[in-house]
Structure 1
Amino acid sequence: MTDQTDPKSAWIYKKEVENFGGDQPKFDFRNKNETDVSWSDVKTDGQGNVIQMPLLKSKQCFGRIEYRMRHEKADAEKMLLRGKMVPSETRCDRCRVKTKMTEESCGLLIRERIKSDPGILGALKNWRRAVDKAMADPIEKKVYSPRSSLFSRDQFGHLWQDVLDAIARRGRFANSNDEAVLVQIEEAKRRERKKRADKMRAKREAERRELRARQQPPPRKFVKAAWDECLKRRDQLMAARGAAGIGRQISRIADQACELTAYAWYYSELLGFRSLPIKPGSMAKWLVENELAPGQSYENLKVRLKRDIERAREIEEGVYGHIWQPFDPDADLEF
């Protein structure tokens, strides 16, 4: 049962109820229909909480009152298929979560859950009473077609919302499969994130190749990623000075030398994108214009930057050990 004392938990469950009881429910993964579940294999506490049942992961709608009531029947009894009218089918019709008997486990669990909570039962009775009254009148029955109207239009809309509110107030019914479902949902989300990241990574790489071929400056995202990496490398170089066994070439350099070495790396990345050489004079001018070397004049920087540029290249090549990691301009896409 959802912890109603936790506002976030209650809010998440309410959003789930609104989703599965809505017009176009969204699933976190493909809602496969591949498992038979016999009601005799489902053990409950008599109040709709599942204590034990066969492992069923790919069925987020299993036992959900709001989903079954809203989507077990199609909008129209028949549909046009290849020029012929055929009986309509819903996900529930195609679902294999069935018993070997005449009634299926999902429906029986839903029935138990409805009976276990007076609030849900009362709200469903009020909605059903209004629906039955309208369907008994041939004229109204035609007016309220398709079936989805029974959940949204006029007097039915607020009554159906009362049902959803009652389900949300009651809180989540427990199920022994809950943890397995959550693991599967997270794995599905992880795969989707990876798919999107791989697609965006390929798109960015294609953009960079095109810009390099035309000798154009790097794209804005590359520049930002390189600057973030520059600041990280500055901090890593400062920290490396105190590492055990580090050589004097690193342990004895001053704070500003660490900064200028990192800036040299950054500057070389921007120029290297267009295969341009990095020169101490042009870098000194860039540092002064961007106020990145306080207390240093252009003349002083032009003289000393040759060593800072060399040091950046040497650290990049691993001459002093593993101080900097390879630069990934698409690291923000990590999933």
Structure 2
Amino acid sequence: MKVSVLCLSLLTLALTGPAASAAASAAGQTTPRGSALLGTMPPAPNRPAVPATPPRTTTETMPGAWARPGEWVPVGGAHASYLQVPAGCPERACALVVVSHPRAQSAERLRDSPQAGTLVAALLRANYAVLLSGDGGPATWGSPGALSTVGVAHATATRRFNWSGRTYALGLSMGGLMSLRSALPGSPYPVSGVALIDAWADLDRAWGSDLTRRAEIDAAYRLGTRPLPDLNPLVRVMAAPPMPLFVVNSLDDTTVKASLNTDRLLGRAQQGVSEFIPLTGPHLGGNRFSPAVAQRLVGFFDRLAALPLPEAGSQAGAERP
């Protein structure tokens, strides 16, 4: 992949020197694509104060209505989502991170995954509530109908804790399509930034990549033919204003090809806050869920706290492969 000097300005500065090399070696990583080297970020600056939450209704403030910190609370119906709020959230309003799962998985799988748990624990320590989304089923491929289901879970979850009014999206593999769609106009809730890990971004590429995926997408979107461009989150992202993006991917990934998916979002990333981290290894390899990546993810969301909230009903577009 060729990255211009201008595009490199969108990346977080690579760590250099012996300390960085030692950190990378300890994590079992190599310098990917001749560009940025993953390392430990410096301590995050003090987070800016968050706005007061809107007044709650009588029903929302009834005893037992709010989630208890440290516990997973089921939210939703047949394909349940799970909410956990951080210990500091009752006293200080917190943002919500909606996590969309890979193909053939579920919110329960994410809840019980030690790898995903590394990212979740870091977010909770940083005062972010986490909603592990059921996404309407195991293979909904970011369909508009499935997003409506996630919208119900989001509305229910944000009434269960001291919400700041900010929502971020984190998509893993297939979940990248849901995360991108949630940040586009027409989403049932505003999204202030999108993080993608080994993520699908191009629905048309997914449809054409495998007969099983094609059948699943046909069923999820109720199609029977190739998806029209206006159903493809990547096409819509390319036509929308730049959005805050955090992207982790690998040229070694043969399941979701970075060059055909999230790498194409590079030119659509909002400068100053976006971050692209190229790694090595197979699809959803363990180095995607390291403490170093978790720290970088938290740093991305922390940077977004200083940005204005999106206006309701006027979602910004996304960008990157």
| TM-score, length-scaled by structure 2 | 0.27
Q: Which has the larger radius of gyration?
A: 1
| TM-score, length-scaled by structure 1 | 0.26
More strand by share: 2
